[in-house]
Amino acid sequence: MPYIGKQPTVGNFQVCDAISVVNGQAAYTMQVNSTNVTPETAFHMLVSLNGVLQKPGSSFTISGSTITFASNLATGDVIDFIILLGDVLNIRTLALAEQMGLGIMTICSTCQGVISQANHRVVNDQEYLDEINAELAEEGLHYSGKTEVKHLLWILLEDIGVEKLQNMFNIDLSGFNFAPFYGCYIIRPSDALGITDNPQRKHSLDIVIESTGAQSTDYGGKTKCCGFPILLINQKNSLKMVATHTGDAKDNGADAMVTPCPLCHLNLDGYQAKARKQNKRGKADLPILHLPQLIGMAMGLDPKELGVNKHLVSTANFIKSLKSKVSQN
């Protein structure tokens, strides 16, 4: 599509160049390929500092191509990534669903977070929505902001309900300890994810785990980043996150970890062996389960049918314990 001036970025995203922290400094220049870049607003960015997504407007602000954190950074702090977002593709998906009169269910926390934030931006900025609708008009699409996006995790609690869900379970998983791993995209920012109006979502994975009869294992990293977003640009810190989360969960008695995000699953399972070895946190011995696998097992489905035996971290002992539990039921 022809344009005048700088190419627009509403339909894609850009990853900013890596930024080295300077002790005592809060303001930094954002660049892509060594050229200064200017985001439309702070809400068009994903910023991760020390493995935690930052809240636009309070944790950081922008002015032109300068990002300023709420407080001075110190030696040891790491700006994991800064991503400048575009929204046309996500709003196109919402427009297609709206055209069919349907909501959208996600099984991925990252999808939930990215789509929810895009939706939040456009429904609160009519001028920006008009700009995107002008792009969508070429396909005969229009979005008015009516599509609801809900993760499977929330649907289990809010649409099905714990009591009805438990009536579907055939296996009591009491005796197991599962560590919930929310990750960052399904927790923050709370306004875009509807957590302000639905505060139980902050504990939704714990509630689902306990609905199976199992215990939810508490540990420090369950709402932090899994490290996947920075895997290709800062593998060392990404693997440090994997080692810390899986090691801490194991140390606190977890038999397995459960996550509602397949990207978190990919990093925590696929890179656990390398991460634990690199960070001297012992062997890779914590199976990682995707949420639907947990629900399927509680319903009595064969773990092999759920693909549990195909994980990279061995699930043999876990499956053996599960089969023993099944025989007792």
- In this structure, is residue 7 part of a structural domain? no
- 3-state SS class at 160: helix
- In this structure, is residue 154 part of a structural domain? no
- In this structure, is residue 259 part of a structural domain? yes
Same domain, yes or no: 168 and 312: yes
- In this structure, is residue 152 part of a structural domain? no
Same domain, yes or no: 296 and 173: yes
C-beta of residue 186 within 8 angstroms of C-beta of residue 261: yes
Torsion sign over Cα 328, 254, 237, 18: positive
Short-list 117, 125, 242, 234, CA closest to 186: 117
Q: What is the DSSP string of 228-294?
A: GGGTTT-HHHHHHHHHHHHHHHHHTT-SEEEES-HHHHHHHHHTHHHHHHHTT-------EEEHHHH
Q: How confident is the model at residue 9 (pLDDT cuts 50, 70, 90)?
A: very low
Distance separating the N- and C-terminal Cα atoms of the chain: 62
- In this structure, is residue 66 part of a structural domain? yes
Region of 253 (left: φ > 0; alpha: ψ -120 to 50; beta: rest) is left
Same domain, yes or no: 20 and 73: yes
> What percent of the chain is predicted at pLDDT more than 70?
95
Same domain, yes or no: 139 and 230: no
| pLDDT (tens digit per residue) in 264-307 | 999 999 999 999 999 999 999 999 999 999 999 999 999 999 99
* Confidence (pTM): 0.77
Q: What is the pLDDT of residue 297?
A: 95
Write out the residue range of the structural domain in which residue 44 sits. 14-84
CATH of the domain at 189: 3.40.50.11810
Give the integer Cα–Cα distance in Å for 102 and 97: 5
What are the residues facing 215 on neighbouring strands? 177
47-55 average pLDDT score: 90
| pLDDT (tens digit per residue) in 236-264 | 999 999 999 999 999 999 999 999 999 99
Which amino acid is located at 204 in the chain?
Answer: S
Structure tokens belonging to residue 212: 């199976």
C-beta of residue 321 within 8 angstroms of C-beta of residue 178: no
- In this structure, is residue 9 part of a structural domain? no
Which amino acid is located at 174 in the chain?
Answer: S
Q: How many domains does the chain have?
A: 3
